Amino acid sequence: MAHRYAGDAVATCAVCKTIILFGGHRLGDARFCSARCLIRGRNLFDQGARAAGNSGTARVEDLRDDLIAVANDLDRQQELLTDIAERLDFLERTVVQLRQDHGPGQPPSSEAT
């Protein structure tokens, strides 16, 4: 018997059609994979609204929200890059220590007693 999960529908970016597993951005019912696609999507929605005769009075607020979303994404990416740099630094120090302890190209001995 096949199991059904609540999330059977796969979310895709409304702009680039990338599959969105976690996170992403929403604009109405549309989903976007990144702040860049959100901005592109908002521009498409604005063009559609203008074509339909709707006014764009909230455009400044929309752009502000887009910039905040981009800034938040950049902050998260900076945090991730900092974490990766710290982990790489730790690994490099560990490799240096192992080479000093065991010599280059020599695996650590596993002396059984």
Tens digits of per-residue pLDDT, 54-105? 555 566 667 777 777 877 788 888 888 899 999 999 999 999 998 888 876 6
- 4 lies in a domain? no
Residue 19 lies in a domain: yes
Which residue in this structure is represented by tokens 């409304």?
14
**Number of domains making up the chain:** 1
**Strands, E, within 1-113: which ranges?**
11-12, 19-20, 25-27, 30-32
110 part of a folded domain: no
Specify if 40 maps to a domain. Answer: yes
Can you tell me the distance from the alpha carbon of 52 to that of 50, in angstroms, rounded to the nearest whole number?
Answer: 5
> Does some domain include residue 108?
no
pLDDT number for residue 70:
79
Query: pLDDT per residue over 4-32, tens digit each?
Result: 444 557 888 888 888 888 778 887 778 88
Q: Do the domain assignments include residue 107? A: no
Q: Which domain holds residue 33?
A: 11-102
Burial level of 21, CB count in 10 A (0-12/13-18/19+)?
exposed
3-state secondary structure of 18: coil
